[in-house]
Amino acid sequence: MEIDTLREQVAAASRRLAAEGLVLGTAGNVSGRAGEQVAITPTGAELASLEAGDVTVVALNGAVLAGTLAPTSEIDLHLGVYRRYDAGAVVHTHAPMATALACVLEDELPCVHYAMLALGGAVPVAPYRTFGTPELADAVLDALEGKTAALMANHGAIAWAADVDKAVDSSLLLEWACGVYWRAAQIGTPQALTAEQQQDVVRAAIERSYGTPKQLEDE
């Protein structure tokens, strides 16, 4: 993919996250990877009005390759995900529901709905560390083992995916799941799906190509 196309995608994803209410003002950051280059949102920029030209391009070691604005302070977190996992995009937000639950849940957001299996099931909570530090990046990268999303204690949420659109979709899915859990917790103790129930969902999804449109068959 052309790096300028990727910069457009990162800017569009930032605006979409702002429009969906997952990011407020300058809080949150998005990146996408094309080979050895990463297009990443700049620090201190309003995500609701971000343009492709505002998006900075860095190498996987963090060296700035293009752009006029300094990259997000969470650059170590983004680059760490690319180095450790097979990610094409990373989204980090302070989304309201996810952040609220990340102030209460200690270990994980239980897998209370089968749609959460798209995120790897239960969503782990990474321990609190100061924003923008290598310690935060290390804690979150460890939490992401076997998962594509995590909550960050007293901070927010992160999701990675094959491309920018999918990473935004995962962030929206995580925020929705946090809302489901939050509402359920108001009226009782949310019940998690068992490991067997989760395996059955994965099996059924594979058998039925769940989530993709299908042509009606002629009778």
Catalytic residues: 74
Helix (H) / strand (E) element for 7: namely helix 3-19
Query: Could you tell me how many helices (H) and strands (E) the chain has, helices first?
Result: 6, 9
What are residue 71's DSSP bridge partners? 42
Residue 5 CB, shortest distance to Zn ion, in Å, is: 26
Q: Which residue, 88 or 156, has its beta carbon nearer to Zn ion?
A: 156
Residue whose CB is less far from Zn ion, 71 or 156: 156
Q: Which is nearer to Zn ion, 29 or 148 (CB)?
A: 29
- CA dihedral for 97, 80, 59, 38, sign (positive or negative): negative
Strands in 108-109's sheet, in edge-to-edge order, are 64-66, 56-59, 37-40, 29-34, 89-93, 156-161, 149-152, 123-126, 108-109
Q: Which is nearer to Zn ion, 167 or 192 (CB)?
A: 167
Q: Could you tell me the smallest distance in angstroms from the CB atom of residue 179 to Zn ion?
A: 20
Please, are residues 137 and 77 in contact by the beta-carbon 8 Å criterion?
A: yes
User: Please, which of residues 3-22 interact with Zn ion by CB under 5 A?
Assistant: none
d(CA 81, CA 144): 9
**Least gap, CB of 72 to Zn ion (angstroms):** 9
Given a contact cutoff of 8 angstroms between Cβ atoms, the answer to whether 160 and 148 are in contact is yes
Least Å from the CB of residue 107 to Zn ion: 21
Residues 124-153, interacting with Zn ion (CB under 5 A): none
Binding mask 148-167 for Zn ion (x = CB under 5 A): --------x-----------
Count of positions on this chain that bind Zn ion (CB under 5 A): 1
Residue 24 CB, shortest distance to Zn ion, in Å, is 11
Backbone angle region of 120, left / alpha / beta, with phi > 0 → left and psi within -120 to 50 → alpha: left
What CA–CA distance (Å, rounded) separates 196 from 149? 21
In the block, tokens 């935004």 appear at 168
67 or 156: CB nearest Zn ion: 156
Residues that bind Zn ion (CB under 5 A): 156
